[in-house]
Amino acid sequence: MTSHVDHKAGGSLAGFMWQVHRALIFVLDNRTSAALEASDDIVSFNDANELTASIQAKHSFTNSTLTTASVEFWKTIRVWSEYPARTQWTPETKLTLLTTSKVAAGSTIEPFAETSAALKAPTDKDICGLIENLGQVAKARKNERLKPCYEAWESLTDAQRQDMVRRIRVCDAQLRLTDATSEIEHRVRRLYVRPERVVAFRQELIGWFVSHVLDQLRVGGCTIEHDLVGGKIAEIHDKLRPAPLISRYNTGPFPELSEEVAKDPAYIRQLAILNATDEDLLAAVRNYHRASAERYGWRQAGLLGDAELDALDADLENQWSMVRRKCLRGGGDPVEKGWQIHNESLQQCRGLIRSEQLPSHVNYGSLYILSDAMIVGWHPNFENELKKTKARVA
């Protein structure tokens, strides 16, 4: 008994929420202000009060096909048919139907669909074809509920119909409300939000936006200023900004040199190729382990994500590559060149996270971590030299 009523209410609520989502996407994509539930679902005007965008948003949970007989299409036509008497269009104004329905193949609407081949603008033949088809449907009056829509279309002059239809674009087969959050998340990622905070950022932004729209509609009409949205985005950035990377392992423990040498890691062998002293090896062991502990601790505490660490390592590798190329210009003893590359890399390669320099032990240790992975090296021919040492051990 309540199934039909609940379904209708649920559909209306879903339609409204979808419209709000689409309005947020419009503001983010176009960097402009917009209004909801004014003369159309979503509209935007320029400073001269000329209509720059008019969007009808039609949502459904059922799989449906859009044709020139569809109720949603004719309700949209009625809204647009009433525009010429109320507002000024610019030459570039587009009338857009956003719908979860799929445009029927071969329909006279198909050339106006954004998903059509090559996204070509409709031709004069396409425009005339749609106008003729709409006229036939309106004249047939097969759906009595759409009589006001048919009459609105027929009240237009030929010139008004031509002008209106040439502006029509249909964005069909749009994601439904249950999947629409992925579209918001895609745009949130463009705002340079850390991957692990995208969901929280999206929830905060949508929650605020829906609340703002409802508050505005309570007093009649809803204008969404782009600057207001931009300010809220900055506020959420500040709110979700991660805590500073406090160093906790700059004096942390590290293994005995003999213990580490016995494990024969690649970063130790890289230095051994250069005939490193125990003092050099001990400094490497200390920085390697303290940096590893620091990086692991930051990641476990949620202060640093894998993406940021990957970006740090990629940046250090790039800086090392530049140092290496400079050091290898001209001849010289390979071991001496190796020490030059090593020393200048430690001096010049500076890792940054969130525009802040890393503590020295993390910076040096990260380079040793990369050398352990054989991503960077010191000897001019370090890859082959490491293979030789490994073969001798074997």
pLDDT at 390 over 80: no
Using CA atoms, how far apart are residues 366 and 313, in angstroms rounded to an integer? 7
Please report which helix (H) or strand (E) contains residue 18, including its range: helix 3-30
The alpha-carbon radius of gyration of the chain (Å, integer) is 32
Q: How confident is the model at residue 6 (pLDDT cuts 50, 70, 90)?
A: very low
Average pLDDT for residues 80-99, to the nearest whole number? 83
* Domain end marker among 240, 270, 303: 240
Range with the lowest mean pLDDT among 54-58, 154-158, 297-301?
297-301
Domain for residue 246, yes or no? no
Looking at the DSSP bridge assignments, the partners of residue 222 are 36
Domain for residue 248, yes or no? no
Contacts of 166 (CB under 8 A, 6+ apart): 122, 127
Domain for residue 94, yes or no? yes
| Residues above pLDDT 90, as percent of the chain | 65
How high is the pLDDT of residue 200?
93
Q: What is the 3-state secondary structure (H, E, C) of 184-250?
A: HHHHHHCCCCCHHHHHHHHHHHHHHHHHHHHHHHHCCCEEECHHHHHHHHHHHHHHHCCCCCCCCCC
Average pLDDT for residues 116-120, to the nearest whole number? 55
**Average model confidence (pLDDT) for the chain?**
89
How high is the pLDDT of residue 39?
58
**Six token digits for residue 65:** 């096909």
Task: Give the domain extent around 130.
Answer: 3-240
DSSP-derived letter for residue 61 is S
Q: Which of 40-49, 207-216, 274-283, 328-337 has maximum average pLDDT?
A: 274-283
| Domain shared by 64 and 115, yes or no | yes
| Domain shared by 97 and 163, yes or no | yes
Domain for residue 252, yes or no? no
Cβ distance 360 to 327 under 8 Å? no
What does the pLDDT look like over 161-195, one tens digit per residue?
999 999 999 999 999 998 888 899 999 988 878 78
| Domain shared by 173 and 89, yes or no | yes
Using CA atoms, how far apart are residues 328 and 323, in angstroms rounded to an integer? 9
Q: How far is CA 380 from the centre of its chain?
A: 41
| Domain shared by 58 and 181, yes or no | yes
How high is the pLDDT of residue 8?
47
Using CA atoms, how far apart are residues 371 and 390, in angstroms rounded to an integer? 15
How high is the pLDDT of residue 85?
55
Average pLDDT for residues 369-388, to the nearest whole number? 94
- Which residue type sits at 370? L
Asked whether the whole model's pTM tops 0.75, one would answer no
Q: How is the chain split among helix, strand and coil, in percent rounded to 5?
A: 60, 10, 30
| Domain shared by 135 and 268, yes or no | no
- In this structure, the number of other CB atoms found within 10 A of the CB of residue 271 comes to 22
Using CA atoms, how far apart are residues 237 and 197, in angstroms rounded to an integer? 10
Domain for residue 174, yes or no? yes
| Domain shared by 222 and 319, yes or no | no
What does the pLDDT look like over 23-33, one tens digit per residue?
999 999 988 88
How high is the pLDDT of residue 393?
45
Q: How confident is the model at residue 305 (pLDDT cuts 50, 70, 90)?
A: confident
Please report which helix (H) or strand (E) contains residue 51, including its range: strand 50-58
Q: How confident is the model at residue 86 (pLDDT cuts 50, 70, 90)?
A: low
* Domain end marker among 191, 210, 240: 240
Domain for residue 250, yes or no? no
How high is the pLDDT of residue 7?
39
How high is the pLDDT of residue 324?
97
Q: Which of 29-38, 90-99, 161-170 has maximum average pLDDT?
A: 161-170
How high is the pLDDT of residue 3?
38
| Domain shared by 372 and 264, yes or no | yes
| Domain shared by 231 and 279, yes or no | no
| Domain shared by 202 and 294, yes or no | no
* Domain end marker among 240, 265, 288: 240
Using CA atoms, how far apart are residues 295 and 245, in angstroms rounded to an integer? 10
Helix axes 226-240, 198-218, angle to 10 degrees: 140
| Domain shared by 271 and 223, yes or no | no
| Domain shared by 335 and 362, yes or no | yes
| Domain shared by 161 and 227, yes or no | yes
DSSP-derived letter for residue 123 is P
Range with the lowest mean pLDDT among 45-59, 205-219, 225-239, 286-300?
45-59
What does the pLDDT look like over 119-154, one tens digit per residue?
578 999 999 999 999 999 999 999 999 999 999 999
- Number of structural domains (the chain) is 2
Domain for residue 251, yes or no? no
Domain for residue 249, yes or no? no
Q: How confident is the model at residue 370 (pLDDT cuts 50, 70, 90)?
A: very high
What does the pLDDT look like over 325-342, one tens digit per residue?
999 998 899 999 999 999
